[in-house]
Structure formats: structure tokens, C-alpha cells
């Protein structure tokens, strides 16, 4: 099954254990009292501190391989509505509380066709609540919402719903 933006955000904000004994713990060093620096294993997690009015999500579409870089062609499901609350600092550690939603509405995407050596970019933008435009260089046309959702997004733009 194809991943969604939510799956990507889950991976991006997942807690990560740093290499063993890589973190100097000041409190542990002071507690030891022998002057030796205490190293410990640490965890880190990337979270969003403040959500902007316009949220830009850049999907990683190129991956390092043994022979250089390769384009990642997997389709990522793009939701029309996105809730960023689970990925923000205020919700961190509050398992028992359901955070207030921080809602966004998809307003546009950029799609890259081609490979590492070159390619072409096109854009889809929302005109109003239920109509979309497709743009490619000097050409544009009305498209269905399904065309947008089936496109292989490279960059997604969301507007905050207040």
C-alpha cells in the first residue's frame, strides 16, 4: 500500500536513539562528583514548534544508492485536509489529552517528472473549494480533484483553516 503524508510525518517526527554514549550529561557528571564526564545514550525527536499560515511539505523524492542518487517514484497519498496537532510540541508527551486540531486545507502541489539529470515541473492549484487548475509553462487548464490526488507530489502547500 502507498504511504500517506501522515505516514511520512510519523517517520519524520519519530523518536530516534542516538549512538551509544554520545551525549554528555551535565546532571550525571555533577552527580558523580569525581570530575569524570558522564556520557549516556540519548534520544531525539523533531517536532513542529509553531504551525505557519501556509505549510509547505517537501517530500524526499531522491535517495542515495550505492551508485549515486535515484528518484523515488512511490506515490504518496495527499489528503485534502491535514491535521498537524499530533506533530507539534504542545501535544508532545500529552498522551491522555487529545490535542486541539491544527487544520490545513490543500491549496496546491508541485510535481516533478524526469530524473536526476533533468526534468520538468508542473503545478496544481486550488481555485476555490472544489475546482483546480493545472499549470505547465505557458499552458493551464481546469482539472478534476482526482487528478491532483493521483499526481506524484514533490512539494505540497497547505493553507491553515482558522
* Helix/strand/coil for 107: strand
pLDDT of the residue at 35? 80
pTM of the full predicted structure?
0.80
Ramachandran assignment for 147, one of left (phi > 0), alpha (psi -120 to 50 degrees), beta (any other): alpha
* Helices (H), ranges, the chain: 5-12, 26-32, 145-150
pLDDT in tens, 61-72: 777 777 777 677
pLDDT tens-digit series, residues 117-154: 788 999 999 988 889 999 999 899 999 999 999 999 99
The β-bridge partners of 155 are 58, 110
Residue 76 has pLDDT above 70, yes or no: yes
The arithmetic mean of pLDDT across residues 84-106, rounded, is: 79
Amino acid at each position: 500500500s502507498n504511504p500517506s503524508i501522515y505516514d511520512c510525518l510519523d517517520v519524520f517526527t519519530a523518536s530516534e536513539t542516538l549512538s551509544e554514549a554520545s551525549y554528555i550529561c551535565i546532571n550525571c557528571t555533577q552527580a558523580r562528583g569525581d570530575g569524570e564526564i558522564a556520557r549516556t545514550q540519548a534520544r531525539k525527536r523533531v517536532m513542529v514548534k509553531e504551525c505557519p499560515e501556509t505549510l509547505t511539505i517537501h517530500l524526499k523524492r531522491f535517495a542515495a544508492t550505492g551508485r549515486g542518487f535515484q528518484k523515488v517514484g512511490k506515490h504518496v497519498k495527499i489528503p485534502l485536509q491535514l491535521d498537524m496537532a499530533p506533530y507539534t510540541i504542545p501535544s508532545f508527551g500529552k498522551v491522555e489529552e487529545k490535542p486541539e486540531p491544527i487544520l490545513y486545507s490543500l491549496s496546491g502541489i508541485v510535481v516533478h517528472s524526469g530524473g536526476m539529470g533533468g526534468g520538468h515541473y508542473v503545478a496544481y492549484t486550488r481555485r476555490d473549494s472544489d475546482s483546480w487548475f493545472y499549470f505547465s509553462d505557458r499552458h493551464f487548464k481546469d482539472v478534476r480533484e482526482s487528478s491532483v490526488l493521483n499526481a506524484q507530489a514533490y512539494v505540497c502547500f497547505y493553507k491553515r483553516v482558522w
